[in-house]
Amino acid sequence: MLTVRGASRAVNHFGGLRMSWFVAPAVVFLGLFSVYPLIALVQMALSEVRPENLFGGWHWVGLDNFGSVLASVEFWQSVRVTVYFTAVVLTVNLVLGFLVGSALSAGTADATLTQAVMVFVWALPILVVGNIWRILLADTGLVNTLLGVVGIPGVGWLSSPDLAVWIVALVVCWSTLPFNVMMFRAALLGIPRDLLEAAAIDGASVRQIRWRLIVPLLRPTFMILGILSLMFGFRSFEFVYSLTHGGPGTSSATLPYLAYRDAFTRFDFGRGATEALMSMVVVIVLALCYLRAVRKEGS
């Protein structure tokens, strides 16, 4: 018996060593491309980094960069823009995602075709989508041309400080909505039909079934998609870059774009790293909330 146990332990130990060697390349890759850049980002945020000392000799300034950023009017404006931007993405993705997902859960031929088109839209590269909408919404673009045909004056969709951030947010919704629709549709199809039929037999109206039965059952889906929408809205740099470059002025500059601008156009790498680190902290918190929601749903 002791011999069998010893052999079993040896086999398990050998298997664990083999597994360790298998995961070693992944650990090295993660360390080189994730952990090390994160450490460098923190060091840069605590230092004064300019083009002349970018590759060495960083001057340690402690929390001075954080104090400078928090005292900046541009920073708080970008925070406000980011909040508005994210709120639009969250609201549209959840409300329209649920309504369109409900309509497509019927399984008709039209619903299947619509879903196929939405999958194609969702699969398009972000920069491609951004540049297409930038051309369409330009002052002399197709949208204003069509408005002129029917006698409506053109609108500065991307050149107006009052409209730019909202238009960019709606373009983000257009690109991300198909994913939410597919997730809501899958969740709706997972609800037992017997449960819905029993509620209808008991006298519940269509409205009551939707809001008192279906919506509570989809609460985990709402939570997960809500967190994902917040994460995507908060870190949507590519759309801002391709559509408005943060303009006009800074009216559509979200926090991630502000970090890019300070680092790569003003060449204040320490300040840009500080703003990027603040953005990353928010994304990490949202990611932890997402993991907790997924774990809670699976348990």
Measured CA to CA, the distance from residue 107 to residue 36 in angstroms comes to: 48
For 151, list phi and psi in degrees, rounded to 5. Answer: 85, 15
- pLDDT of 243 reads 92
pLDDT of residue 229: 86
pLDDT at position 169:
92
Low-confidence ranges of the chain (pLDDT < 50): 1-2, 4-7, 10-17, 19
**Cα angle for residues 199, 203, 207 (degrees, 5° grid):** 75
Q: Which residues pair with 48 in a beta bridge?
A: 59
Query: Which has the closest alpha carbon to 173: 220, 125, 128, 121?
Result: 121
Beta carbons of 251 and 164 less than 8 angstroms apart: yes
| Whole-number pLDDT of residue 20 | 59
CB of 57 within 8 A of CB of 270? no
Terminal-residue alpha carbon distance, the chain = 38
Burial (Cβ within 10 Å: 0-12, 13-18, ≥19) of residue 137: buried
Topology of domain 72-298, per CATH? MetI-like fold (1.10.3720)
Q: Are the C-beta atoms of residues 275 and 255 closer than 8 Å to each other?
A: yes
Contact, 41 vs 281, CB < 8 A? no
Instruction: Check whether the bond before 248 is cis (ω within 30° of 0).
Output: yes
Query: Can you give the pLDDT at residue 7?
Result: 45
Q: Hey, what are 28's tokens?
A: 């090295």
Residue 60: beta bridge partners?
47
Residue with tokens 């993405």: 89
Q: pLDDT for 284-299, tens place per residue?
A: 888 788 778 777 766 5
pLDDT value of residue 227: 84
Query: What span, in angstroms and rounded, lies between the C-alpha atoms of 198 and 210?
Result: 14
Q: Which of 296, 253, 224 is nearest to 77 (CA)?
A: 253
Q: What is the pLDDT of residue 230?
A: 83
Centre a 10 Å sphere on the Cβ of residue 145 and count the other Cβ atoms it contains: 12
Place of tokens 């298998």: 22
Distance from C-alpha of 299 to C-alpha of 292, rounded to nearest angstrom: 11
For 119-128, the pLDDT digits (tens) are 888 888 888 8
- In this prediction, residue 274 carries a pLDDT of 93
* Global confidence as pTM: 0.82
pLDDT for the residue numbered 22: 67
Kindly tell me the burial class for residue 250, based on how many C-beta atoms sit within 10 Å of its own C-beta (0-12, 13-18, 19 or more): middle
